[in-house]
Chain A
Amino acid sequence: MRELSYLEAVREALRQEMQRDERVFIIGEDVGVYGGAFGVTLGLVEEFGEERVMDTPISELGIAGAITGAALVGMRPVGEIMFMDFTTIAMEQLVNQAAKMRFMFGGTIEVPFVLRTPAGSGTGAAAQHSQSLENWFVHVPGLKVVMPSTPYDVKGLLLSSIRDDNPVIFVEHKLLYKTKGPVPEEPYTIPLGTAEVKREGRDLTIVATSIMVKRSLEAAEQLAQEGIEAEVVDPRTLKPLDEETIFRSVIKTGRVLIVHEACKTGGYGGELAAVIAGSEAFDYLDAPIVRLAGRDIPIPYNRNLEYHTVPQVENIIEAARRLARGGV
């Protein structure tokens, strides 16, 4: 199969959906002429014109308000916020307006927008341009939260997200943009709320999100050389969560390592751990559930410190080894 980068897969999904559905448009800072801060929307303004690829002033709240309003009147907007850190500025529209409207109007209206935003560290962009704030949105009823880890997933999940009638926070990862993988040319969808076992294994389950899926798979390869077979499960959408796939894996292996980049305290790993511990999988746990996550500090600018702030392959190997060998 043809290979695309994660970034190209996002662009292809946008292009194909804009070709298919004229209600779809893109709005954000520098998404038009400049082609997006990371180049995701490069070339789209030439193809679809400035009416469908709209540059905005530097106002994230304005972008969030515009896509909320446009969605309410029947459009299917895709907003882009250049860094996830700045979704904090858009919170009022996202949390108090977009997430609530369908409920407060008794289901008579829909808010079908997607807000794309790149998260994560590793680019030396320091504390205000490196955060992973997905759990802020997981906490809000009415929002769906998607976090793809591969080029294949990002295309299929973005198409599903645009076609979904609810506001979807679509969290991409800056370091994943350049990663390559097989992506079918034709449009396809991956249903929201379906996890995927990215690698089968018997000794422990690693539940990882976004770039941590990639790092966990690399870790699993090295662990296999030591005789430890890790199963890697990617929830792909944090909300709604495909609990069954996770439970099935935990029941099989009896040990769980949760890996995410966001800060540990209040992170999604706590939610996952509680969901697992409260399920039928509890009776199959043969060790405490272990979380490996970002340190509870702002991402440092210094590249060495930045590196050691979030889980890396070697950290995953160490944690998995300890868990699988009964050290926890």
Chain B
Amino acid sequence: MATPVIMPKLEMAQETATVVEWLKQEGEHVEKGEPLLAVETNKATVEIESPASGILAGIRVKPEQVVPVTEVIAYILQPGEELPREAEIISLPLPQAPVPPPVRATPVAQRMAQDRGVDLSTVVGTGPWGRVTKVDVEAALSVSHLAAGVRGEKVRATPAARRIAREREVDLSAVTGSGPRGRIQAADVLAFTPAPMVVSEPVAEVVPLTGVRRVIAERMATSAQTTARVTLVTEADATAFVEAREQLKADVADEWGFAPGYNDLLGIIVARALREFPYMNARLSDDGQTIERLAAVNLGMAVDTERGLLVPVIRNADQKGLQAFGTEFRALMERARAGKATPEDLTSGTFTVTNLGMYDIDAFTPIINLPEAAILGVGRIQPKPVVQDGEIVVRQMWTLSLVFDHRLVDGAPAARFLQRIKQFIENPYLLLG
């Protein structure tokens, strides 16, 4: 088989070599490894060895001819072998870089690209079959050289502007920059006010959110946002309760110096129920990891004052008789309304009772006074027709709403607690038990 003799690549960057002279003649026998010819590169003259033993034939290059590397320059034939038929025409193809597919572009786009030095292969064509049009070249030219290759729209803003935008939660893409090349400056962000979403009504009076108002705002919001509130509503027949209160009023008012009210009686009842149901007299620990059942029953009684809602606390309410409870409650209420409540008066509550019955409210769902587990909302006592023993009768009815935090207490236990309060109201003598 004919062995081609190839112009070798002798150096890294060599592309051609010049033939100096053939050391063997056409038809001469050569041994593998014997020098065939001398070639000259940029750096040296080198002898090329025969790749095989045989007869040198088909020499295709002459001295002083510049030959690309890898080109076939002759053959070594075995005895009786002939030159390959294509020997006169074939040559091993030069390795070449892959030719990129031609870019489709309109003639005007090609001319613009050439004039303005735009590499069309980097331009995304938007014409038919992806053809690059004049518009595409113009778009490519509008992207500055430095920003070329940056993906997406990037807002230009100084670091200070970016910081202020972060702090004020301003979307920089909505801000107009006044700096060089439209760069957004700190002042631009400061001056930027997002367009109001709704036209606000004229304000008649501005009340600063300070003091008690601020505390209420924060605590109510926290409670509303963090507790798992469930409201239980029940109606108690308060006829006996009202009678008992009327009787007490007649009997002890002079001696005690005050007439016991519904709140006093209810306070005693709730305190007693809390002693019986300690899981209602509980709170979530500060770290939120445990439920703490509290040793004392400290009953908070919500009071409306000029400064806002205050909740004075009757400590150890379950240990107190009606007279002691009522006396203390009145003293606390007086101090609260006079703005003289001490911190001690207003802290350490374990459960709260809030009564809006005097304003003809039937029922409502108060917000739990954190960190307590529940709050009792008290409506008005009102004569209503009810069915008793198959007859419609008029009774003094009282709506009670228990709002509890389901994180600490489940529904049924909470219902049992409210039911117990209802029992005490309907049968005040049970308090003797």
Contact = CB atoms under 8 A, between A and B. Distances in A.
A287 to B, nearest CB: 6
A275 to B, nearest CB: 15
A326 interface: yes
Given A285-B159, A326-B185, 7 more contacts: A254-B158, A254-B160, A283-B159, A286-B158, A286-B185, A327-B180, A328-B180
Max chain A C-beta neighbours (<10 A), residue from B159, B178, B185: B159
Interface in B130-182: 158-163, 178-180
Contacts of A282: 159
Contacts of B180: 326-328
Nearest to B162: A283
A120 B292 CA distance: 77
A287 B179 contact: yes
Interface of A: 254, 282-287, 326-328
Interface of B: 158-163, 178-180, 185-187
A46 B160 CA distance: 59
A41 B384 CA distance: 113
Contacts of B185: 286-287, 326
A283 B161 CA distance: 8
Nearest to A284: B160
Given A254-B186, A326-B185, A284 B179 contact: no
B192 to A, nearest CB: 15
B16 to A, nearest CB: 43
Contacts of A328: 180
A327 B180 CA distance: 6
A139 to B, nearest CB: 28
Contacts of B179: 287, 326
Contacts of A284: 159-160, 163
A284 B167 CA distance: 12
A286 B178 contact: no
Contacts of B163: 283-284
Nearest to B178: A326
A285 B158 contact: yes
A287 B186 CA distance: 9
Nearest to B186: A286
Contacts of B160: 254, 283-286
B166 to A, nearest CB: 9
A283 B159 CA distance: 5
A277 to B, nearest CB: 9
Contacts of A254: 158, 160, 186
A287 B178 contact: no
Contacts of B178: 326
Nearest to B163: A283
B370 to A, nearest CB: 38
